[in-house]
Every structure is written in structure tokens, then in C-alpha cells.
Amino acid sequence: MKGEFDNIPVVDLSGLAGGAAPEARAATVAALKEALMTSGFAYLAGHGVPEDLVERMRQMNMAFHDLPLEEKMKLKINGFHRGYMPMSTSTIVTSSVAKVTKPNQSESLMIMHEVPEDAPYAGEPIQGPNQFPADLPELKETAQAYMAAMTGLGQRIAGGIAEALGLPVDWFDRHFVNPTLFLRLLHYPEQPDEEQLFGSAPHTDYGFVTLLKQDDVGGLEVRNKNGDWIPAPPIPGTFVMNVGDILSKWSNGRLVSTPHRVKNLSKRDRYSQPFFYDPSMSALVECPAEMLAEGEVAQMEPVLYGDYLMERLNKNYDYRKKAS
């Protein structure tokens, strides 16, 4: 039953790899469907992303946050939503699961998809240059390699999700011609155990799917239907995947976008690197008619993904509120 869970399952994605036997693919799709219809979360094993690349990205995350604040502030987030977000500058006011009044206790570097200078959409909202520290040239190289690998994983997952919804394996492809990609390199310092203070306040994600690599500190929790917060501790060699709001709407509520939060009470620094795999800004998101049962109606009005996303960014980030 949707929302009724007390743990997060491990799903082996090796069945989605090219050349996998049809029965292996069917088993993976079934496991993915069960996880995403019940908890909206899964640990992903057999994902095919090299562990040494994941570890290099983690090391670059730590190295960036070790830079002096004055160096990081040279990269302060720009109007294209790329760059450094200092501590306490994002407050999730659009959260549908909590009234959030205190800013998140985290700092981060936001990196997005590369935009060619001659792209017809260059200069449009969030379509601009990334910012990287000059003193850490390996970060750019590592981030680009990591995002390429994670994009490939996102494409495989989208195919599996399409099949889980009874759609052709390539159904989502036309909506991801120029995917909207976010890699957020997060640092959560040790925080006081204070009411309504979070590393990341209770929220659901905006987009299609989130693929999270967390370190060994822990602190991520997921809320079930009964209101219990279920720990999601790190499992070596896996990513934590979760459904975002736009995928839940796309699936007419079949797949669940589940509230989650981070509290870092470990007395250690926590580092994580969520990767968000989202549709093209120009993609029209509407529930596919071929997925609806007889008499079932679409729960959402069609929306351009770019319009949907910008509304949320404009409300949740201090730098955008001040600019508007």
C-alpha cells in the first residue's frame, strides 16, 4: 500500500543494462515499480557507475568546502542558479509537508548541465555558465564526468519507470532531449538539536528522480504514511533514489513523492552529492492518456516543466527573492 513501509528496499538495476536477459529486466522493472509505488524510495545496487568516480566526486566535494569562505564567495550563486550557496540561504517555503520558517543548515555548490554558447536556449532562465574554483581545477573535470555517468543512469531508470507504468520503454525520451541536470555538492556541519532546525527541512523534491550519494554519517530520514520518520542510512555501493513531485504527477499519483529530511546530530561534518535528473525546460508534462484506466481522469493540468521549476526556485532561494 502506498506510504505503508518501515524500511527502504534495495533494487538491483543490473537488469536494466544493455544485453540483460528479458526475464532479468522484467524482474528489475517489477522491483522498481513496487518500491516507487510503496515508499517512493529505493537503494540502487548494480547501477553501473564506477565507484572510483563516485569517490573522486566525494573528495572534490570535501575539498571545495575546505576552501576559505572568501574563495567560495567569489562563486556566489548567479542568476542561472549555478554557484556557491552560503550557509542558511535556502528555506523550503514551498514544502507541502511542513511550515518551514528556519533556513537549512547547509552550504553547497550547485552545478548544472553545460549550456553551449550557441545553443538556441542559451541565456534563458537557468541556461547559463557554471562556476568552478580556479584553485581546484580537478573539480570541474570530475563533476562533468560524474554528471555524464549519472545522466546515463537516469536514462536507464526512465526507461524502467516507463515500463513500470505500462508505457513503451522510450516514452520519456522526447521529454529529456536537453535534460535539466543538477549536481549539488552539500556540506552539513554539526548542528544543534533544536526544534524545527534541520540540515534539510521536511520536503518533497520538485523533479523527476533524485539520485543521492551520501557519506557514512547518516541523518537522512523518510516519512511514512503513519508519520513515522524511517532512517535511510548509507549502504556502501548504492545510491538512494527517490521520486520527485513532477514524476508523481506524471504517473497520476501511482508513484509516490515522499517527504524526507536531514538532521545532522552526529557531531561530525556530513557531505552528500544529490543528482537531480529532470526533463527539458521546454517539456510539456501531462499525464499520458494511454496510462489512464477507463473512467480515470488526469489529476494535473498540463504544465511546461520550466514554468513549474522556476516558480519553486523563485520562492525557496534568498538570492532569487532579493532579485525579484
What Å distances lie between residue 236 and 43, 233, 239, 260, 295, CA to CA? 10, 10, 9, 20, 45
**How many CB atoms lie under 10 A from the CB of residue 212?**
24
* Residue 312 domain flag: yes
Give, rounded to a whole angstrom, the gap between the first and last alpha carbons of the chain.
Answer: 43
Phi, psi dihedrals of residue 140, rounded to the nearest 5°: -60, -50
Give the count of domains, the chain. 1
* Residue 172 domain flag: yes
* Residue 2 domain flag: no
Number of H helices, E strands in the chain: 7, 14
* Residue 4 domain flag: no
Q: What is the pLDDT along the chain (324 residues), one digit of tens a residue?
A: 787 888 899 999 999 998 899 999 999 999 999 999 999 999 999 999 999 999 999 999 999 999 999 999 999 999 999 999 998 655 544 445 555 456 667 899 999 999 999 999 999 999 999 999 999 999 999 999 999 999 999 999 999 999 999 999 999 999 999 999 999 999 988 765 555 556 567 888 999 999 999 988 877 899 999 999 999 999 999 999 999 999 999 999 999 999 988 776 667 888 999 999 999 999 999 999 999 999 999 998 999 999 999 998 887 777 766 544
* Residue 88 domain flag: yes
Helix residue spans in the chain (DSSP H): 22-38, 51-65, 69-73, 137-164, 245-250, 305-316, 318-323
What Å distances lie between residue 40 and 97, 106, 155, 218, 319, CA to CA? 15, 24, 18, 19, 31
What pLDDT, on a 0 to 100 scale, did the predictor assign at position 119?
A: 94
Residue 270 · residue 187 · CB < 8 Å: yes
For residue 160, what is its C-alpha cell? 524502467
In terms of C-beta density within 10 A (0-12 exposed, 13-18 middle, 19 or more buried), how is residue 276 classed?
buried
Domain harbouring 149, CATH code: 2.60.120.330
Residue 263 · residue 201 · CB < 8 Å: no
* Residue 36 domain flag: yes
What pLDDT, on a 0 to 100 scale, did the predictor assign at position 192?
A: 56
65 closest CA partner among 271, 218, 219, 214: 271
Task: Give the residues across from 181 on adjacent strands.
Answer: 277
Q: Which domain holds residue 144?
A: 10-323
* Residue 1 domain flag: no
What pLDDT, on a 0 to 100 scale, did the predictor assign at position 29?
A: 98
What is the pTM assigned to this prediction? 0.92
* Residue 5 domain flag: no
